[in-house]
């Protein structure tokens, strides 16, 4: 990773650091410490607010919050995906965020009820071996990978949260039966299965598999670590395969330090923090005016499906069941 860019907080954010209850601000983070830890350290340094962080996978933390309910010590939940945020929102555990925070991000990338706000975006893409696959031969939608021409050439990560969220979006967009049919057709095409996106990208780069369904930023991270790659990203032209999933944050309704929690979320939406996501994690900044990494097409040029991200949590269990029934789990 390159050195963290200087992050200067606004006077408004600094003035918000006026405390609340006793003890530190408690953040449950489904984003790993290497990804978000530097931002939390900068927040601590600039505001003087003490922060205690609990790191785990987003779905696991969402399940913990559901179990803890009103007794949770968490003030803020930062999640990797909208489905995890949605499950907490559906349980009524988030407070509604103020308009001054929600208005910073385009409405499609936050909760329709204002209970969580997107902080960075990850587009679903097809990663492919540019040495053996002609980009012109790649389908414009995921439906194209059911063609027998792709038998044994496609990699997926069926247990990965982003893949399951993608399938959940297909359920919402196309319906249960169409999703079931697509999964069964993919299974019949003998896909290679991997545990996570980063492994798929490495396998494509090594020539082990031709194409894979992943999130866009894994290839950019690989290039940042090792330089040039044989792999390249192909952005699909709409449909579930072009889903743009925000990581996001919500404030717990039972937060002991609501003012500090609001200051923390405001910090994540500052231009400086958004620039960090662009240059250090290679995600899409969601606050207008902050450019993505040079290797990426502008956010406005993407064609994600018009799906209510607030509802992904509703379809996640069904999506998981359909993936299992297709024999992919």
- pLDDT-derived band at 6 (thresholds 50, 70, 90) equals very low
Rounded CA separation 116/322 (Å): 28
- pLDDT-derived band at 8 (thresholds 50, 70, 90) equals very low
Please name which of 33, 73, 53 lies closest in space to residue 264, comparing C-alpha atoms: 53
Rounded CA separation 58/66 (Å): 12
Q: Give 250-307 pLDDT, tens digit per residue.
A: 999 999 999 999 999 999 999 999 999 999 999 999 999 999 988 899 999 999 999 9
By CB atoms closer than 10 A (0-12, 13-18, 19+), residue 288 is exposed
Rounded CA separation 231/236 (Å): 16
Rounded CA separation 94/166 (Å): 24
pTM of the model: 0.89
Using N-to-C axis directions, what is the helix angle for 312-325 and 82-90, rounded to 10°?
120
What is the biggest distance separating any 2 CA atoms in the chain, rounded to whole angstroms? 62
Residue owning tokens 């996640």:
316
Please name which of 62, 97, 96 lies closest in space to residue 79, comparing C-alpha atoms: 62
Q: Give 74-99 pLDDT, tens digit per residue.
A: 999 999 999 999 999 999 999 999 99
Q: What is the pLDDT of residue 12?
A: 38
- pLDDT-derived band at 21 (thresholds 50, 70, 90) equals low
Rounded CA separation 57/51 (Å): 19
- pLDDT-derived band at 311 (thresholds 50, 70, 90) equals very high
Report, as an integer, the average pLDDT of 65-76.
97
The 3 state secondary structure assigned to the chain is: CCCCCCCCCCHHHHHHCCCCCCCCEEEEECCCHHHHHHHHHHHHHHHCCCEEEEECCHHHHHHHHHHHHHHCCCCEEEECCHHHHHHHHHCCCECCCCHHHHCCCCHHHCCCCCCCEEEEEEEEEEEEECCCCCHHHCCCCHHHHHCHHHCCCEEECCCCHHHHHHHHHHHHHHCHHHHHHHHHHHHHCCCEECCCHHHHHHHHHCCCCCEEEEECHHHHHHHHHHCCCCEEEECCCCCHHHCEEEEEEEEECCCCCHHHHHHHHHHHCCHHHHHHHHHHHCCEECCCCCCCCCCCCCHHHCCCCCCCHHHHHHHHHHHHHHHHHCCCC
- pLDDT score of 26 more than 80: yes
């Amino acid at each position: 990773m390159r050195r963290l860019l200087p992050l200067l907080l606004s006077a408004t954010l600094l003035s918000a650091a006026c405390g609340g209850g006793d003890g530190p601000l408690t953040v449950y983070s489904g984003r790993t410490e290497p990804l978000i830890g530097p931002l939390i350290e900068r927040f601590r340094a600039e505001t003087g607010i003490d922060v205690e962080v609990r790191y785990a996978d987003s779905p696991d933390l969402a399940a913990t919050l559901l179990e803890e309910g009103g007794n949770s010590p968490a003030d803020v939940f930062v999640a990797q995906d909208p489905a995890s945020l949605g499950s907490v929102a559906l349980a009524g555990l988030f407070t509604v965020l103020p308009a001054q925070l929600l208005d910073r991000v385009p409405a499609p990338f936050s909760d329709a009820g204002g209970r969580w706000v997107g902080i960075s975006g990850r587009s679903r893409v097809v990663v492919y071996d540019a040495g053996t696959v002609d980009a012109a031969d790649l389908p414009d939608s995921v439906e194209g990978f059911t063609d027998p021409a792709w038998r044994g050439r496609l990699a997926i990560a069926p247990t990965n949260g982003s893949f399951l969220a993608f399938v959940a979006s297909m359920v919402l967009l196309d319906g249960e039966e169409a999703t079931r049919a697509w999964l069964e057709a993919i299974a019949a095409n003998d896909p290679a299965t991997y545990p996570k996106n980063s492994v798929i990208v490495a396998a494509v780069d090594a020539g082990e598999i031709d194409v894979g369904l992943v999130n866009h930023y894994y290839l950019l991270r690989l290039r940042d670590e090792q330089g040039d790659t044989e792999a390249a990203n192909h952005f699909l032209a709409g449909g579930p395969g072009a889903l743009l999933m925000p990581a996001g944050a919500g404030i717990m309704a039972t937060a002991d330090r609501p003012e500090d929690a609001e200051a923390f979320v405001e910090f994540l939406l500052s231009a400086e923090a958004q620039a960090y996501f662009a240059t250090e994690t290679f995600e899409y900044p969601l606050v207008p005016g902050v450019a993505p990494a040079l290797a990426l097409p502008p956010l406005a040029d993407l064609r994600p499906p018009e799906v209510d991200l607030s509802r992904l949590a509703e379809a996640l269990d069904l999506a998981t069941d359909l993936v299992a029934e297709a024999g992919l789990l």
